[in-house]
Homo-oligomer: A and B are copies of this chain.
Amino acid sequence: MAKLNHHFSKLSNNYLFPEIEKRIATYRQKTPNARLMDLGIGDITQPIPASAVSALVEAAQEMGKPGHFRGYGPSEGYPFLRETIASNEYGKLGINIDPSEIFVSDGAQSDIANFQELFCTDNRIAIADPTYPVYLDSNVIAGRTRALLKTGRQGGVTYLPCTESNGFKPETPSVQVDLIYLCFPNNPTGVTIDRPLLKEWVDYARKNQAVILLDGAYSAFITDENAPKSIYEIEGAREVAVEFRTFSKSAGFTGLRCSYTVVPKDLKIYDYGKVHSLHALWKRRHDTKFNGVAYPIQRAAAALFTPQGQKEVQGLVGSYLERARLFRQGLSALGYTAYGGKDCPYIWCKTPEQVSSWDFFDYLLEEHKIVSIPGSGFGQAGEGFIRFSAFADPSSLGEALQRLKAG
């Protein structure tokens, strides 16, 4: 008899985004003519850069030509893309990352969800709270958490509260943990970290032989000069950290699916005394369970690093940050307490009068026809907050402010 992976039953019944879609669908049924302002899901709203389109078209045409098309590529990505990432994203910051340490993938989400497979189930994980739900859910499915607690939290997990009192910056725990999920700039708070605090994390990991899995999906949006663009700016990080990056948000690739993961060759993993290379293991996992990203998509990603591509990406990033700035300003002017939005296009807005996240979500949807994301969906410490996405188009952002103002 085929038996279920019973760890699935520990997941909350509804993954956050489908639950939101369900509530929207219910609302639309009641009021089919309502014009909703969607400031919810962090999807891009501007087309992909022209340089990426040209490269995609050209590569598509190559695929139809004898002598030019490409079949299976290397599962870890084509050298042309890995090399340009290494030199542009790291070399220019003075960071030494070899192209062979870069694994091209179809999404930061899948890579960060899959990476835990390299570790045995009795590692203890630490995650920021609130944060992107995939880190925790992928570990629950894998059986790395214990029984669900009465509080609704997963047993055997070290939660790192990110609250107003610590400026939404997770602090190193006093207990020993093995796998540490960090996200800077953090989704959903939109807040990033400065070098001294990130150095504390690297030092903690070195001292405890822990591994940091750093989700840098929003790193392109960092403007604060005191905030590191990459964890490898910190001394010793090559020994303890994996970094996940994506073209989804900075270049509008959410519908094209291309990302990359950096696994430095200095990174070690332990097996009761024996030492192994995490790089070799991830390569083995990649070869077995993944077959690379479509060639035309890799060409499109590489085109982002041409001078024209860089200009276009900077334009996109700048415009989203400008939207975030204006929206946060507007919220503040209306009396809301809002965070984030400076190094990331997410605004982390406190609900008024201690209303719960879901109640405020429902209120915004039903009274103002505004879609947001309830902060509690990202973890219990997100309760009492709501996430707005400034990826939304300026007219929606403006209209949303108008509606809130009109009360």
Report which A residues bind B (CB closer than 8 A): 1-6, 8-9, 11, 15, 17-18, 41, 43-50, 52-53, 56-57, 60-61, 63-66, 68-73, 106-107, 109-110, 113-114, 117-123, 134, 137-138, 141-142, 178-179, 208-211, 252, 254-257, 269-272, 276, 281, 284-285, 287-297, 300
Contact (Cβ within 8 A) B60 A296: yes
Per a CB cutoff under 8 Å, which of B18, B41, B107, B117 touches A5? B117
Q: Which of B17, B48, B69 touches A69 (beta carbons < 8 Å)? A: B48
| Nearest neighbor of A51 in chain B, beta-carbon distance | B64
Interface residue from B66, B252, B256, B270 paired with A1 (Cβ < 8 Å): B270
Instruction: Determine the chain B residues whose CB is within 8 A of the CB of A66 once the complex forms.
Output: 46-47
Instruction: Indicate if the CB atoms of B45 and A56 lie closer than 8 Å.
Output: no
Distance between A57 CB and nearest chain B CB, rounded to angstroms: 5
Name 23 A/B residue pairs within 8 A (Cβ), A-sorted: A1-B178, A1-B270, A3-B119, A3-B120, A3-B270, A4-B118, A5-B119, A11-B284, A15-B284, A41-B72, A47-B68, A53-B61, A60-B300, A63-B255, A63-B256, A69-B252, A109-B289, A113-B289, A117-B141, A134-B288, A256-B294, A256-B295, A296-B296
Contacts A68-B47, A71-B254: A289 and B3 contacting too (C-beta < 8 A)? no
Q: For the A-B complex with A6-B271, A69-B252 known, give 18 more contacts whose Cβ atoms are closer than 8 Å.
A: A1-B270, A2-B119, A3-B120, A4-B269, A4-B271, A4-B281, A41-B72, A44-B71, A47-B68, A53-B61, A57-B57, A57-B61, A60-B296, A63-B256, A72-B255, A109-B291, A110-B291, A256-B294
Contact for A208 among B1, B45, B137, B271, CB less than 8 A: B1
Are B255 and A295 closer than 8 Å at their CB atoms? yes
Docked CA distance A44–B293 (Å): 17
Task: State in angstroms the CA–CA spacing of A43 and B1 once bound together.
Answer: 37
Identical chains in the assembly: 2
Cβ–Cβ contact B61 & A47, under 8 A? no
**Are A71 and B45 in contact, CB atoms less than 8 angstroms apart?**
yes
Contact of A56 with B48 in the complex, beta carbons under 8 Å: no
Contacts A2-B270, A272-B3; A8 near B57 (Cβ below 8 A): no
Complex CA distance for A68 and B211, rounded to whole angstroms: 42
Provided the pairs A4-B120, A5-B117 are in contact, do residues A43 and B72 lie with their beta carbons within 8 angstroms? yes
Chain B residues with CB below 8 A from A106, complex form? 106, 257, 291
> How far is it, in angstroms, between the C-alpha of A271 and the C-alpha of B285 when the chains are bound?
28
Per a CB cutoff under 8 Å, which of B17, B53, B211, B291 touches A64?
Answer: B53
Chain B residue at minimum C-beta to C-beta distance from A287: B15
The 7 closest A-B pairs by CB, nearest first: A53-B64, A43-B71, A56-B60, A4-B271, A113-B289, A71-B254, A1-B209
CA distance A118 to B5 in the complex (A): 5
Bound complex: CA A292 to CA B345 (Å): 23
Residue of B nearest to A176 (CB): B1
